Structure 1
Amino acid sequence: MKTFIQKLGKSLMGPLSIIVAAGLLLGLASTLQNPNVFGNILANVEFVNNFVSLINTLAGSLFGLLPILFCMSVAQGMSKEDKEVATFASIIGFVLFHATIRFLLQMNGITAETTSIEYLVSQGMNVLEATQQNAAYDVVMGIFTYRMSIFGGIIVGLWTAMIHNKFHTTQLPTAFSFFSGKRFVPIMMVVTIPFLALGMYFIWPLFNMVINGFGDLLASVGAFGTFIYGFLERLLIPTGLHHILNQLIRFTPIGGTAMIDGVQVSGALNIFNQLLMQANPNMDVMREATRFLTQGTHPFMVFGLPAACYAMYKTALPKNRGKIKGMLLAAALTSFFTGITEPIEFAFFFISPLLWLFHAVMAGLSFLINTLLGVCIGNAGGGLIDLVLFGVLRGPETKWIINVAIGIAYAAIYFFVFKWAILKFNIKTPGREDENDEVDNTEEVTELGASIMKALGGKENIVEIDNCISRLRLILKDTSLVDENLLKKTGSLGIIKINETNIQVVYGAKVEKAAAELKRAVKSNA
């Protein structure tokens, strides 16, 4: 189960880079439309208006593709090998899944026409009831179906991975050998997906009630709901489960729902991006969405954690400061500009539960304070780029000045709390290792992949290699064979042993290189 959850969390990250990039483009387009920035100078410039329309069209299309993007990403991430075959099969499965649901709905007289607001009102419903009934259905890739959003994609992706892992090596009798192996997977998808769709036809209305219930519960506790989210999101980082929590908040009704231009939109990030496409968005609705987005992360990502790095540098043993200066500076700048915080967090998470808890509480308070003060800064990054593009450049209505003021206070709090705690409890943050524990991180490793492979117990101990935005995610035969000191010499910032076979190695921004080099080393020793 731990392995499954870890892989699922990583798989859900696949579409996020595309959505974040689309969000940045929307932020730029929104800035060009904002009269608080350029006044009315650009209002009648045809090139600018055409550019904004093009960005809105492209972004809108990407958001419409979210369900199938999640489907493909989950199928690819959860399959063990021949991942391209699983991805191909997932597209077939996704289309057939919704086509089957459309068929079942039509058998019961449920179509786009009979669920339209106009038709339902004509049948005696009031507008509110008709709108709620209409919102239960959607058109996905031209197919009328349940409004399942990313859940439909995740369900089909998981089903595809299961079918793929079970049948991709199946050998049929000689007469049918052409359909064996990889070719058998899409065939099995065609055969089995109607049964999945039939089950979801009956289950989804109940499941949808549960999802909406969680969303209503989160909304019912008001601003405190944002504290719960911020606290849990940081607390779960070492487990990888924060990815799942984030995607649920960003793309499902748990993160809120809103009627925009007569269409129900679910998920905090979806709502924010849809509103960015409007010249004059409803700021009250936008604030409801952004309370779960980056406005709560800026104070600790842009200000707090870099200050914590400075505290760790100041409290390091004088003779070690030169060795750890570069590492801490790189980690601080990464958090400051991009919002990638794990290289810093893994420097203290496991050696000091006290600082870990402090950080989680401060994250929750950041979300809570920004919500109470009406800050309105969105997107899903969290670094300076998001703060400038979605806060500063969108004008004073975002209340970005308040966000920065909170951040400055966070910088001071993080610095003094970290410095006090490190000295008071003699926490072994980087540069404070005892002589017999000290690791020479400046040692030159000429063959990175070979060194990592050796530290992991050799090629024979490595079963599967994968990575996310900052960590190697590995399946080994025996995690007890891992040499943590040798891993540190390769640039590792820490390890997380999930169980006897699953381990994660934190490399921060260097993880892509580490993964590529390790795969090359394993392949060359095959």
Structure 2
Amino acid sequence: MQKTKAALWEFLQGLGKTFMLPVALLAFCGIMLGIGSSLSSDAVTDNVAFLKGEGFHLVFTWMANTGLVAFTFLPVLFAMAIPLGLAREDKGVAAFSGFVGFVAMNLAVNFYLTAKGVDFEDEKAIEHYGIADVLGVQSIDTGLLGAVAVGIVVSLLHRRFRTQRMPDALAFFGGLRFVPIVSALVLSVLGLLIPLVWPTFNGWISAVGRGIGHTGVFGPFFFGMGEVLLRPIGLHHILVAMFRFTDVGGSGTVCGDHVSGALNLFYAQLDCSAAPGSAVTDATHFLSQGKMAAYLGGLPGAALAMYHCARRRMRPEIKALLVSGVVACVVGGITEPLEFLFLFVAPWLYLVHAVLVGLGFLTAAVLGVFIGNTDGNVIDWLVFGVLQGSTTKWYLVPVIAAVWFAAYYFLFRWAITRFDLKTPGREDPPADDEHDEHDEHDGAHDAEHAEEQVRAAPEPARELVAGKYDAAAMLDAIGGAGNIRSLDNCITRLRMTVADAEAVDEARLKKLGAVGVVKLDGHNVQVVIGPQVQSVKDAIATMVPAGRP
């Protein structure tokens, strides 16, 4: 039972991590689409005359067109990214098989509908089945859910049949070549079942969306709070994806096309010259405008409170930590480096933070802010707010952020001093003799193990030792290469399955630059690094025996 629970937990973590590749592309394409569409729109060019030049118009139109890449092909990107991320070996074959499986499923749906005599032009049939053009095929638009299902099935098939042996007469089709073949067969059969179950399932999704819609502005409140509460265990991506890409986040018609999902609606509107309808404006309540109160104001206020509450002699040491966390939050929309500074010392304060984030979503919805996108950072505010004109009500964001800054600052300063919370710079200093002896012992221990592992490490790991993170020493603090069973990363964290979580030295990892350590159970551990986590993971991977992670 325990092993099954650990395996399921590891799978869910891995699934959430696979969303990051297409979401990162989506965020970039959203910025391209936002800049291109706004600077080529009549609303902007009428006020900035030189932008009407043919050269400028062509460049910005090209940018907007490039930004449509992720939006137009989003489901197939997920269908490829999931097996790519879940596969531990032969990732290219897994991604290729994801594409094959996705196409096979939709061709099978088309076959079923055609054989049944369904009229693809009939509005009732379109509404009942959810018929849409998918990669040039008249199929059922299962959206992200269908793509995730394809990705999971293909990843399982890849794991099972990657080394499949065939009889000599069919040996050419064995091994890795068999994975896309069996993916096409299995997904084609599953595709025949979709028209039988999807109308009912689609009705359930719509009911959930209507249920949230009936809560009015409280829907965004619960969404924002839920995202924050799920973040420490790394499962917030699933909740976010549900609202961004399915009917749960809203649906409506944009420039004649039916669109589902809050983010899909927003991006479709960017490429539409018509005024946004209520479906689009309501959908943005679940997007980045709700985050801006906490990301641009609240968390920086919390950081300043932690700085002022630190011991004076410790402030210079924690200043860089807090500043880098604020930059990651305000510019990059990455909050973990700040959140993990108080999550473990005062979980109840993190709960208050979650409520305040939810209230930020609520406030933006009530005031009619219409900015959208994914990150909630200053770039989103500029590109999708300021550049789109005053109809977005971008000017309200600095006011809201200022209120949240003050609220977080005074709340955190009161909580830290009232309950003597051990936020950075407030740790109780040991006696001088004990302190010196402890540091000397730890320093010798770190130096001995780091030097030994660096000598044996390949060049990428050695380069990291000279930078901010000592990858060799971090590996030793994790329990050594022998303790690692699997190793991966998301945007800010190392995600590991280890033989023994107790062997992971949390205190030493924090000394080496980690923001926090999350031990989910006896085998699943996450180490919060920050934006440089990919480099740290790559360096550590070079020191782990081939094939283990």
Alignment TM-score, normalising by the size of structure 1: 0.92
Q: Deviations over 1:64-103 (max 9, x none)?
A: 2101100011111222322222111111111111111111
Distance in 2 between residues matched to 1:104 and 1:148, nearest whole Å: 15
User: Which of 231, 236, 242 does residue 230 from structure 2 map onto?
Assistant: 236
Corresponding residue of 2:240? 246
1:13 aligns with 2:20: yes
Residues 62-141 of structure 1 mapped to structure 2, 5 A cutoff: 62-110=70-118, 114-116=119-121, 119-120=122-123, 132-133=127-128, 136-141=130-135
1:362 aligns with 2:362: no
Distance in 1 between residues matched to 2:11 and 2:393, nearest whole Å: 41
Q: Secondary structure at the match of 1:109?
A: coil
Residues 54-453 of structure 1 mapped to structure 2, 5 A cutoff: 54-110=62-118, 114-116=119-121, 119-120=122-123, 132-133=127-128, 136-282=130-276, 284-436=278-430, 446=465, 448-453=470-475
The residue identity in structure 1 corresponding to 2:491 is: I
Q: 1:317 to 1:43 in 2, by over 3 A?
A: closer
Give the superposition deviation at 1:8. 0.9
The residue identity in structure 1 corresponding to 2:83 is: A
Give the superposition deviation at 1:36. 5.3
CA contact (8 A) 1:32 1:42 kept: no
Corresponding residue of 2:506? 484
The residue identity in structure 2 corresponding to 1:513 is: S
Q: Deviations over 1:122-154 (max 9, x none)?
A: xxxxxxx57734x71111111111111122211
1:47 aligns with 2:42: no
Q: Deviations over 1:154-188 (max 9, x none)?
A: 11111000111111123334554443322221222
Higher relative contact order (CA 8 A, sep 6+): 1
Q: Percent identity?
A: 37
Corresponding residue of 1:126? none
The residue identity in structure 1 corresponding to 2:513 is: G
Q: Deviations over 1:258-311 (max 9, x none)?
A: 101221101111111111112343264442121111111111111111111111
30-39 or 288-297: which moved more?
A: 30-39
Q: 1:283 to 1:388 in 2, by over 3 A?
A: farther
Total equivalences in the alignment? 512
Corresponding residue of 2:523? 501
Q: Deviations over 1:193-238 (max 9, x none)?
A: 2222233332222221111111111111111111111111111111
Q: Deviations over 1:300-343 (max 9, x none)?
A: 11111111111111111222222211111110111111211110
Q: 1:525 to 1:213 in 2, by over 3 A?
A: closer
The residue identity in structure 2 corresponding to 1:82 is: D
Distance in 2 between residues matched to 1:342 and 1:183, nearest whole Å: 41
Q: 1:455 to 1:105 in 2, by over 3 A?
A: same
277-286 or 240-249: which moved more?
A: 277-286
Distance in 2 between residues matched to 1:29 and 1:187, nearest whole Å: 41
CA contact (8 A) 2:108 2:189 kept: no
CA contact (8 A) 2:255 2:272 kept: no
280-289 or 334-343: which moved more?
A: 280-289
Alignment TM-score, normalising by the size of structure 2: 0.88
Give the superposition deviation at 1:251. 1.0
Give the superposition deviation at 1:42. 5.3
Unpaired runs of at least 5, structure 2:
1-7, 451-464
Corresponding residue of 1:27? 34
Q: Secondary structure at the match of 2:355?
A: helix
Distance in 1 between residues matched to 2:173 and 2:492, nearest whole Å: 40
Q: 1:115 to 1:487 in 2, by over 3 A?
A: same
Q: Deviations over 1:98-120 (max 9, x none)?
A: 1111111111112xxx232xx45
Distance in 1 between residues matched to 2:125 and 2:519, nearest whole Å: 51
Distance in 2 between residues matched to 1:219 and 1:42, nearest whole Å: 43
CA contact (8 A) 1:34 1:394 kept: no
Distance in 1 between residues matched to 2:397 and 2:194, nearest whole Å: 43
Q: Secondary structure at the match of 1:15?
A: helix
CA contact (8 A) 2:245 2:262 kept: yes
Q: 1:205 to 1:286 in 2, by over 3 A?
A: closer
